Amino acid sequence: MRLPPLESGRLIRRYKRFLADVRLEGGETVTAHCANSGSMMGLCAPDSEVRLSRADAPGRKLAWTWELVHADGAWVGIHTGRTNALAREGIEDGTLAELAGYAVLKPEVSLPDGTRLDFLLTGEGCPPCYVEVKSVTLRQEGEARFPDAVTVRGLKHVERLIDLRRAGCRAVLLFIVQRGDCALFRPADGIDPAYGAGLRRAAAAGVEILARRCRVAMDEIRVERPLPFDLA
- Among 45, 77, 109, identify where a domain stops: 77
pLDDT at residue 59, rounded to an integer? 78
Q: Are residues 181 and 136 in the same domain?
A: yes
CATH of the domain at 177: 3.40.1350.60
Q: Are residues 221 and 132 in the same domain?
A: yes
pLDDT at residue 113, rounded to an integer? 92
Q: Are residues 138 and 214 in the same domain?
A: yes
Three-class SS of the chain: CECCCEEEEEEEEEECCCEEEEEECCCCEEEEECCCCCCCCCCCCCCCEEEEEECCCCCCCCCEEEEEEEECCEEEECCHHHHHHHHHHHHHCCCCHHHCCCCEEEEEEECCCCCEEEEEEECCCCCCEEEEEEEECEEECCEEEECCCCCHHHHHHHHHHHHHHHCCCEEEEEEEECCCCCCCEEECCCCCHHHHHHHHHHHHHCCEEEEEEEEECCCEEEEEEECCECCC
Q: Confirm whether 126 is domain-assigned.
A: yes
Q: Confirm whether 1 is domain-assigned.
A: no
Q: Residue 138's domain spans which residues?
A: 80-226
What is the number of domains present in the chain?
Answer: 2
Q: Confirm whether 27 is domain-assigned.
A: yes
CATH of the domain at 67: 2.40.50.580
Q: Confirm whether 115 is domain-assigned.
A: yes
Q: Are residues 204 and 142 in the same domain?
A: yes
Q: Confirm whether 40 is domain-assigned.
A: yes
pLDDT at residue 177, rounded to an integer? 98
Q: Confirm whether 231 is domain-assigned.
A: no
Q: Are residues 103 and 216 in the same domain?
A: yes
Q: Are residues 110 and 209 in the same domain?
A: yes
pLDDT at residue 110, rounded to an integer? 96
pLDDT tens across 184-221, in order? 999 999 999 999 999 999 999 999 999 999 999 999 99
Question: Which residue positions in the chain have pLDDT lower than 70?
Answer: none
Q: Are residues 127 and 158 in the same domain?
A: yes
Q: Are residues 53 and 143 in the same domain?
A: no
- Among 29, 57, 77, identify where a domain stops: 77
Contacts of 43 (CB under 8 A, 6+ apart): 69, 71, 76, 78, 137
- Among 77, 104, 120, identify where a domain stops: 77
pLDDT at residue 145, rounded to an integer? 98
